A and B are shown apart, each in its own frame.
Chain A
């Protein structure tokens, strides 16, 4: 019996070590899990009127105040937020792009987590579906994020009836989400896979096993900074556990692929890659203005240089933490000497200037001697 226990413990241990390594090496940057629910008796948001949207928001608000009062949750009307705040939530992936287009009736419930700011549990109201419950955590944590989502769903389930059908499971306004309506999306940073030219095969293989691959900002977005969003395509015909298990396995494979590519690059040291890393180093060191996309591309190469051991004279930095500082709204909200939001030309210039400064401070050790 003792033996068995220690064995289980060891297996657990290996698992956690692997996870920690993945976080440390920052291959899987974040895991996001979401489910969609529609309240029965209402039309879906694809065609619902403003009045219906308002009613839905009110119903959910009532449930929120009866069930969540006193806990660390907050309710926001999206239309009452400022544009910068909305942009901030969008950049943090808390709101989807659709949430900031037509604001009527759209609301957000957010779990406030002062101790751990990276973990975000939120509910989008009146997006494509009436309720979209999602949880985001740094690193690989497929199961944890799902359990967060499920906890919230159960609270709502006690008070609301959801659209459900014996054949198709939970009904959603888009046919691609029916069934469990569970979507696990991970954002992975794969500079070595890209630099070693393996990305095409990599994407093909993922598509073969029904995963969809997108850019950093989800649907229709470009790939920037070697960041890939990978998510499950199938939500019907499998139960939640199967989907979670599969996505977890996919993540472990992604980690393996990136590590393998790193080994390959360490061994061969292609001149093109090295050149590109040093060019990025130079650009970041001496550039006075940087736009968001460019800074992500450059930082990604610098990070690769660090992983490969080519660039040693740098501070060790957390790629995801750094890039999350670089969003436009984040810079506007964080600056002491305020940026004049009405002065459009100067605003963009000033933001780019501050962005370049932030990066220099975070990654270069001997800043004063060189700049």
Chain B
């Protein structure tokens, strides 16, 4: 019997799925077994693929042909996590190749960072800042800078300068608090 997918090799894996008296059969070769994602929705079969991968000593990967999903290649478990604002999950984002709302960028940040890095070669915005949030962001950036400098001064034991920096940081933090409160 030939493999149902490549139709070249001999089929040496025979899977039979029985659900409510419906019987589905799959006859595959080991090579196709590596590349085909069967019954992806069912946890039981996820376990089965693990067992099979142990028996045949091969890595069974989920491979989808569309380009978008190549970018969205994440580990098991996060796919079903939903964005608390728009309700989209990562599987849907993967399928349509688009993000649901601004909040998705916050909630799925860890998943998006490697993808954005692959597209743009960077994950740091250096361009224009919106008028409304520019004040806040400017202060935040300055704070980041000062804190870094404070650390440096402490390591070289320049405490005089460090004390001065610490005071400026405190002032800025107060200012930031006020700006946030005003909003």
Contacts and interface: CB of A to CB of B under 8 A. Distances in A.
A165 B126 contact: no
Interface string B101-131: 1100110010010011001111111111111
Contacts of A200: none
A174 B98 contact: yes
A326 interface: no
B123 A46 contact: no
B126 A238 contact: yes
A166 interface: yes
A236 B123 contact: yes
Nearest to A178: B116
A203 B106 CA distance: 37
Nearest to B123: A167
Nearest to B129: A164
Interface string A227-261: 00000011111111010000000000000000000
Interface stretch (B19-27, B36-44, B132-140, B150-158): B132-140
Interface in A166-185: 166-176, 178-180, 182
B86 A47 contact: yes
A44 B99 contact: yes
A247 to B, nearest CB: 14
Contacts of A128: 98
Contacts of A235: 120
B97 A174 contact: yes
Contacts of B112: 168, 175
A43 B97 contact: no
B102 A46 contact: no
Interface residues of A, number: 41
A182 B128 CA distance: 10
Contacts of A161: 130, 132
Given A46-B96, A179-B120, A239 B102 contact: no
A167 B124 contact: yes
Interface string A61-85: 0000000000000000000000000
A42 B102 CA distance: 8
B108 to A, nearest CB: 11
Contacts of B120: 178-179, 234-237
A130 to B, nearest CB: 11
B143 interface: no
Nearest to A150: B128
B88 interface: yes
Given A46-B96, A174-B97, A236-B122, A163 B127 contact: no
Q: Which of A173, A175, A180 has the most C-beta atoms of chain B within 10 angstroms of its own C-beta? A: A175
A158 interface: yes
A128 B112 CA distance: 19
A38 interface: yes
Q: Which of B86, B96, B125 has the most C-beta atoms of chain A within 10 angstroms of its own C-beta? A: B125
Nearest to A169: B125
A165 B132 contact: no
A174 B122 CA distance: 16
B98 A173 contact: yes
Contacts of B109: 167
Nearest to A180: B127
A175 B128 contact: no
Nearest to A158: B131
A175 B115 contact: yes
A238 B100 contact: no
Interface in A143-161: 154, 157-158, 161
A165 B106 contact: yes
Nearest to A235: B120
Given A43-B100, A236-B120, A237-B122, A171 B105 contact: yes
Contacts of A174: 97-99
Nearest to B119: A176
A40 interface: yes
Contacts of A278: none
Nearest to B140: A166
Nearest to A38: B102
A42 B116 contact: no
Given A47-B88, A158-B131, A162-B130, A237 B123 contact: yes
Which 5 pairs, one residue from A and one from B, show the smallest C-beta to C-beta distance? A237-B122, A169-B125, A46-B98, A180-B127, A163-B102
Given A178-B116, A234-B122, 18 more contacts: A40-B102, A42-B101, A43-B101, A44-B101, A47-B98, A161-B132, A163-B101, A165-B105, A167-B124, A173-B98, A176-B119, A178-B125, A210-B121, A234-B119, A236-B122, A236-B125, A237-B126, A242-B126
Interface of B: 71, 85-86, 88, 92, 96-102, 105-106, 109, 112, 115-116, 119-133, 137, 140
19 contacts: A38-B102, A40-B102, A43-B101, A44-B99, A157-B131, A157-B132, A161-B130, A165-B105, A169-B128, A170-B130, A172-B99, A174-B98, A180-B127, A180-B128, A234-B122, A236-B123, A238-B122, A238-B126, A240-B127
